[in-house]
Amino acid sequence: MTPSAPRIEIDLDKIEHNAHCLVEQLKTRGIAVTGITKATRGLAAVATAMRRAGVSGIGDARIQNIDRMRRARVRASFALTRAPMPSEVKQVIRCADISFNSEPAVIAQLADAARRAGVRHGIVLMVEMGDLREGLMPADLADAARRVIELPNVFLQGIGCNLACYAGVAPDAEKMNALSAHATALEHGLGIHIDTVSGGNSANLEWALGGASRGRINNLRLGESILLGRETLHRKVLPGLHTDAFGIVAEVIESKRKPSAAWGRIAQSAFDVPPEQGREGDMNRAILALGRQDCDPEGLTAPAGIRILGASSDHLIVESQAGALTVGSEHVFQPNYSALLRAMTSAHVTQHVLGRRSPTHDCRAAGTDETRAMYP
Ligand SMILES: *Cc1c(COP(=O)(O)O)cnc(C)c1O
């Protein structure tokens, strides 16, 4: 049976290869990799491919995704990379081994929930290093660390920071040296050993694979670079990595010769801004059944001979430069991170897993129906 369209094809072998290459390269520099699965909504087969490649743990921003991977029997240490909501601390304690935190009051709630559950939970304190997303201000770090040490049922796993996510601040040698210095200062000040110093995400690879000293940094949290084969400061392809582990397949529902320019009085379109109008006369235009409810059309790269003209909720409008497209034919588009994230989250996009499959997970059950039943 042909799988239905639109669908996202997920090549586990390519994901495993990418993860393996990064794990091995970083291992020689003393850096372990936490594989980040949030862009795939915690798809167990992807987590298992990362595990096979040797990542030291799995991280996800959402506790539901971690719960989903646990239920699918992915064996790993799980880290919640987004600071827990106070309303979810019980679930965080139940599903995650470690969480990344910046609010001492929430850490106290985690400790309380861990005590009730009779477990120990690891805390990574995030430090604000200038990108202005999450993190304690450096001046408050020592006090927060002391409070973690004093609480029952939680332990200080380490410190970390996150850059290049909001303001685009680069994780360069200066920032990484500053984070290392925070780790050393905490050790001296509190008489403890800091185990994990997590330097950042896929934007750190230029620094990590370059010549600079790694200092105390011994962990990176990698999502996009494993999944899409690029570092994220300049979106440069990482040597030897696959950039096409994911493909979004869409089907043509209309194919006609039409003018390149709209006619009539031009006001707003469905998404506010009417597109630029071409002046090339008639062209081979086609519509594919793929829209903003399925992915981020701005984040798609079209196959050769096809040019994306625009999109609405459910329609992708293209020009075919090499003859008319056949109604019913399928075409594969390459997603960037934004398109990937939305496609993996859309209830309208079926997921088709290729390559080695997780022996512990039935990939046919990995679609959105299963998750909707689990998290109504
Ligand atoms: C998403 C996320 C990552 C992974 O980022 P990539 O750019 O996909 O590598 C790492 N750390 C945190 C805190 C995150 O939220």
Summarised one tens digit per residue, pLDDT across range 246-261 is 999 999 999 999 999 9
- Closest ligand 1 atom, residue 38 Cα: 1
Ligand 1 centroid to residue 220 C-alpha, Å: 9
Burial 10-47 (b: 16+ CB within 10 A, else e): bbbebbbbbbbbbbebbeeeebbbbbbbbbbbbbbbbb
Distance of CA 180 to the CA centre of its chain: 25
> Does pLDDT of 1 surpass 70?
no
**Strands 350-354 and 7-11, bridge-based pairing:** parallel
Residues 227, 237, 173, 164: what is their CA dihedral angle, to the nearest 10 degrees?
Answer: -60
Indicate whether residue 225 lines ligand 1 (CB < 6 A). yes
Which two structure tokens, joined as six digits, stand for 113? 């929930």
Q: Using an 8 Å Cβ cutoff, are 46 and 288 in contact?
A: no
Given a cut of 50, whether residue 361 has pLDDT beyond it is no
Relative to the CA of 203, which ligand 1 atom is closest?
7
Q: What is the pLDDT of residue 358?
A: 43
What is the residue type of 285?
R
Of the listed ranges 79-93, 108-122, 130-144, 277-291, the least confidently predicted one is 277-291
Q: At what angle do helices 138-150 and 104-117 cross, to 10 degrees?
A: 20
Secondary structure class of 77 (helix, strand, coil): coil
Confidence of residue 108 (pLDDT cuts 50, 70, 90): very high
Q: 373, 368, 375, 360: which is closest to 73 by C-alpha?
A: 360
Distance from the alpha carbon of residue 234 to the mean position of ligand 1, in angstroms: 16
Could you tell me the CA-to-CA distances from 64 to 28, 96, 364 in Å, in that order?
Answer: 34, 10, 19
CB of 232 within 6 A of ligand 1: the answer is yes
Q: Which residues are catalytic?
A: 38
What span, in angstroms and rounded, lies between the C-alpha atoms of 154 and 177?
27
CA 35 / ligand 1 centre spacing (Å): 9
Task: Tell me the two tokens of residue 337.
Answer: 């991170």
Distance 353 CA to ligand 1 centre (A): 23
Indicate the pLDDT class of residue 367, thresholds 50, 70 and 90: very low
Cβ proximity of 84 and 98 under 8 Å:
no
Q: Which pair of structure tokens corresponds to residue 164?
A: 């290049």
pLDDT at 139: 98
**To which H or E segment does residue 109 belong?**
helix 104-117
pLDDT tops 70 at residue 363: no
CA 203 / ligand 1 centre spacing (Å): 9
- Computed over every residue of the chain, the mean pLDDT equals 93
Say what angle helices 44-52 and 12-27 make with each other, to 10 degrees.
Answer: 40
Task: State the average pLDDT over residues 137-149.
Answer: 98
- Measured CA to CA, the distance from residue 248 to residue 326 in angstroms comes to 18
Task: Report, as an integer, the average pLDDT of 163-188.
Answer: 97
Average pLDDT of 31-48? 98
277 pLDDT higher than 80: no
Pocket probe mutation, ligand 1, options 201, 340, 341, max atoms within 8 Å of Cβ: 201
Task: Reply yes or no on whether the pLDDT at 334 is more than 70.
Answer: yes
Q: What is the C-alpha to C-alpha distance for residues 375 and 67, in angstroms, rounded to an integer?
A: 10
Give the pLDDT band (50/70/90) at residue 102: very high
191-239 pLDDT per residue, tens: 999 999 999 999 999 999 998 899 999 999 999 999 999 999 999 999 9
Cβ of 221 closer than 6 Å to ligand 1, yes or no, is yes
pTM of the complete model: 0.92
Predicted pLDDT of residue 273: 73
User: Which pLDDT belongs to residue 37?
Assistant: 98
**Residue 361 DSSP SS3:** coil
Tell which one of 165, 204, 227, 341 to mutate to probe ligand 1, the residue whose CB is within 8 A of the most ligand atoms.
165
Return the pLDDT at 2.
65
Q: Does the Cβ of 61 fall within 6 Å of ligand 1? A: yes
Q: How confident is the model at residue 372, as a pLDDT? A: 28
How confident is residue 374, by pLDDT bands cut at 50, 70 and 90?
A: very low
Decide whether any atom of ligand 1 lies within 6 Å of the 60 Cβ. no
The answer to whether residues 11 and 43 touch, using CB atoms and an 8 Å cutoff, is no
